[in-house]
């Protein structure tokens, strides 16, 4: 309950900050539409040459893109800006101010910066998801919908845990911005179903950088091709990575000694 209140406060602050730069809203819309149009056009070019891609039909692929942009939006709205700020704060010593606040420190650093305009990505992602679903709607039952929500929740937790693990490394290594670039580079691979990639790459995308768990698995649930075993596995991974990142955070905190004068 308290965490929701904290998030709400940060979201309001974020909105007030960004409302001062209203033109950025239009720039954001332009960028998001271009980004999503780019991805859809690539799907169009591929499906001009074939009707199925590794067993996926066009409608299912559009739904997959929708999930991709929903998760992308969620990361860009709060996870990426907050944790980037956190890494900067470790470097400058400003983390001291966060640590003295009477709330859980991991919660505070995970929510401290909210980029409201990035909601555009999330909303457009939902629209694409809906239009993709429109084409395959007849086949989605209540079970698939439930599986999708569970898989999406597990995927979100996994991605957050992964970012948290990377960001916590800032307690040991001061310059990490480039490591996050690795994530974004690999994340592009999530625009296509995991089945198109060779096995070694599939394992990298599932095990090392959890792109598959965040994007492909929820989309598989919608397309009705997710087995109960894989869903359970995705939930187990989410649980484990959440616990490990929490433990790692505490370990890192103990190392932090402040950098201010």
Considering the complex, what minimum distance in angstroms separates the CB of residue 181 from other proteins? Answer: 5
CB proximity list for 41: less than 8 A, separation 6 or greater: none
CA distance 187 to 205: 8
Q: Of 46 and 140, which CB lies nearer to other proteins in the complex structure? A: 46
Considering the complex, what minimum distance in angstroms separates the CB of residue 108 from other proteins? Answer: 29
Q: Of 199 and 254, which CB lies nearer to other proteins in the complex structure? A: 199
Considering the complex, what minimum distance in angstroms separates the CB of residue 120 from other proteins? Answer: 14
Q: Of 46 and 123, which CB lies nearer to other proteins in the complex structure? A: 46
CB proximity list for 174: less than 8 A, separation 6 or greater: 90, 91
For helices 142-168 and 177-187, give the axis angle rounded to 10 degrees.
160
Q: Of 37 and 134, which CB lies nearer to other proteins in the complex structure? A: 37
> Would you tell me which residues interact with other proteins (CB under 8 A)?
23, 27, 30-31, 34-35, 37-38, 41-42, 45-46, 48-54, 178-179, 181-182, 185-186, 188-189, 191-192, 195-198, 200-201
CA distance 230 to 232: 5
CA distance 46 to 230: 28
Tokens 């596995």 sit at which residue?
A: 233
Considering the complex, what minimum distance in angstroms separates the CB of residue 51 from other proteins? Answer: 8
């Amino acid at each position: 309950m308290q965490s929701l209140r904290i998030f709400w406060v940060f979201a309001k602050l974020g909105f007030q900050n960004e409302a001062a730069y209203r033109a950025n809203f239009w720039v954001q819309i332009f960028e998001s539409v271009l980004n999503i149009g780019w991805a859809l056009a690539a799907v169009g070019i591929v499906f001009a040459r074939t009707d199925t891609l590794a067993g996926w039909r066009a409608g299912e692929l559009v739904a997959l893109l929708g999930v991709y942009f929903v998760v992308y939006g969620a990361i860009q709205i709060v996870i990426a800006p907050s944790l980037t700020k956190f890494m900067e704060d470790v470097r400058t010593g400003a983390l001291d101010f966060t640590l003295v606040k009477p709330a859980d420190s991991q919660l505070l650093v995970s929510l401290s910066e909210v980029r409201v305009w990035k909601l555009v990505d999330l909303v457009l992602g939902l629209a694409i998801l809906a239009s993709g679903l429109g084409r395959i709607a007849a086949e989605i039952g209540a079970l698939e919908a439930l599986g999708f929500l569970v898989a999406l929740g597990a995927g979100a937790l996994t991605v957050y845990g992964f970012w948290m693990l990377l960001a916590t490394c800032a307690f040991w290594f001061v310059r990490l911005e480039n490591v996050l670039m690795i994530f974004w580079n690999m994340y592009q691979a999530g625009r296509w179903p995991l089945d198109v990639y060779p096995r070694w790459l599939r394992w990298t995308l599932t095990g090392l950088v959890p792109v598959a768990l965040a994007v492909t698995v929820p989309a598989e649930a919608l397309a009705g091709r997710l087995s109960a075993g894989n869903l359970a596995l995705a939930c187990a991974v989410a649980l484990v990575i959440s616990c490990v990142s929490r433990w790692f955070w505490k370990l890192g905190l103990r190392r932090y000694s402040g950098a201010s004068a």
